Structures are given as C-alpha cells and as structure tokens.
Amino acid sequence: MNYLNEEMVYGKNPVIELLKSGKPVNKALLLSEGPGGRNQEIVSLLKERQIPYQFVDRQTLDRLTNRERHQGLLAYVAAREYASIDDLLAVSEERREDPFILMLDEIEDPHNLGALLRTVDAVGAHGVIIPKRRSVALTGTVAKTSAGAVEHVAVARVSNLVQTLQELKKKGCWVTGAEAGGKDAFEADLTGPRVIVIGSEGKGISRLLRENCDEIVSLPMRGKVTSLNASVAGSIMLYEVLRQRSNSH
C-alpha cells in the first residue's frame, strides 16, 4: 500500500507514475545505495525533470512514512505547477506594466512564504522567485497560509539566484535588496522595472546575491528590536513599491 496526502507519495510505482505524469514535485528522497542500484531509473527521471533529490538512510524513510512499505522512495508533491522566469515577465507584458518581482533568498518557514504570496497578489506584483535548494517549496502549508494566493501568483524555482538576477538585469530590471545598513527604503526610488530581494530569516541576503543588487535599502527601526520577520519586511517593501508606482502615474 502506498500512502498519499497533499504533500507525500511513496512506493516505487506510485513515485515513478508521479514523475511520468508531469505533475509538480518539490523534492524526492531515495534510499542510499551504490552505483548501478535499483534507483538509477528514478534518478534519470529526476534529472530529466530537474527535480531536487537526496539520498537518505532507511530509518529516515521509515520515520517519514510511519514504517509503511516505501520501497526506498518518497516524493513531495507541490501544491501547484512552478512557473519560469519568462512566465513572470509575460505577466508584466500582458498587463503592460514594468516588471515587479519578489526574489526570496533561502526562506525556510512555510508561513512566511505563504504570507508573502498573499501580499504579492494584493499589490499586483508579477511573481516570486525562490531557489531550488535550502528553501521552502510550494507545500500544502504554504498553500493554506497563502489563503488561495498560491493559485494566482506565479512562482519560479531556479537553480541559481545570482545567475537569474543577472538575466533580469540584462532585461532592464533594477535590483533592490532589503537589509540592515542600507539607505532608508522610504527615500529610495523604487519605480521602474524592479526586483525586490528579501533574505532568509536568520542570515539575511547571501554575500554573492547582495553584491549583485544595485542598491541595499533598510526599513527604519525606531524601537528596541533590530530586525523584522521576513514576511513583514517583504510585505512593507512590496507596498512601498506599489505606493511609489501609484504616485508616479
């Protein structure tokens, strides 16, 4: 018997069928085995579809599946299909608006991603970019927290955020990173084609990504705490972009 809920499929045939179906998959876990093992067919399928995977021990799979018969294979189903960068830019073209994109650097809390998807939808931004690794994916918890926004917001999942940023800059986008130590976000010019970069809950924006931003801005902090939750900071930044765009028309 294989077990299927909103996020997990396991057992060899169910996982192979899932991969062949073309449905969105966040990640796969495979039992560690030597080269030429039984999982080679699965690994080929995962590589072909560019789905992240990792090898784990049997105890890990037993624990995740409550000791059901997993046959050394488990896959996490995505709440919806991922978009491409071109899809995000196509949304802005359709609406005849300058690109307005949110990039998230290793956000790991599904509630933060879900909350940000709601804000992206509310401000009319054109989509979100997340990395394939060390980041929460479009899980059931994200979908639930987004209160339906996951159905309306294009989310692209990329292998390399820095390369993606460079591509967007070539297409005319300006990149603004939000982090402590920058100039006042409310005094920065955030109009025009814009990518807003928000860093992870603990580490902020990674060094290479920060070096590829055109500017770093900070939200003014008047109290005793020194930082804001990632979804709160991201939401304020998105609304500031919307405010400036509204005023410039």
**Mean pLDDT for all residues in the chain:** 90
Q: Which domain holds residue 97?
A: 85-248
- Is residue 73 over pLDDT 50? yes
- Is residue 86 over pLDDT 70? yes
Structure token pair of residue 130: 């997340």
Percentage of the residues of the chain whose pLDDT score is greater than 70? 95
Give yes or no: residues 66 and 89 share one domain: no
Give yes or no: residues 186 and 155 share one domain: yes
Confidence of residue 111 (pLDDT cuts 50, 70, 90): very high
- Is residue 132 over pLDDT 80? yes
Residue 181, Cβ density class (10 Å: 0-12 exposed, 13-18 middle, ≥19 buried): exposed
Q: How many independent structural domains does the chain possess?
A: 2
Q: Which CATH number goes with the domain that contains 162? A: 3.40.1280.10
- Is residue 89 over pLDDT 90? yes
Q: pLDDT of 171-198, one tens digit each?
A: 999 999 999 889 999 999 999 999 999 9
- 135: helix, strand or coil: coil
Element (H, E) at 24: none
Give yes or no: residues 111 and 38 share one domain: no
Residues written for the chain: 249
Q: Which of 208, 94, 99, 203 is nearest to 160 (CA)?
A: 208
**How many CB atoms neighbour CB 36 within 10 A?**
7
2 located within any domain:
no
Task: Give first-to-last CA distance, the chain, whole Å.
Answer: 59
Confidence of residue 35 (pLDDT cuts 50, 70, 90): low
- Is residue 206 over pLDDT 50? yes
3 located within any domain:
no
Q: pLDDT of 228-244, one tens digit each?
A: 899 999 999 999 999 99
Q: Which CATH number goes with the domain that contains 23? A: 3.30.1330.30
Give yes or no: residues 50 and 90 share one domain: no
What's the mean pLDDT in 121-150?
A: 92
pLDDT at 161 (0 to 100): 97
Give yes or no: residues 65 and 131 share one domain: no
pLDDT at 179 (0 to 100): 92
Listing DSSP states for 188-206 in one string gives S---SSEEEEE-BTTTBS-
Whether the CB-CB separation of 185 and 244 falls below 8 Å is answered with no
Supply the pTM of this predicted model: 0.87
pLDDT at 162 (0 to 100): 97
Confidence of residue 34 (pLDDT cuts 50, 70, 90): low
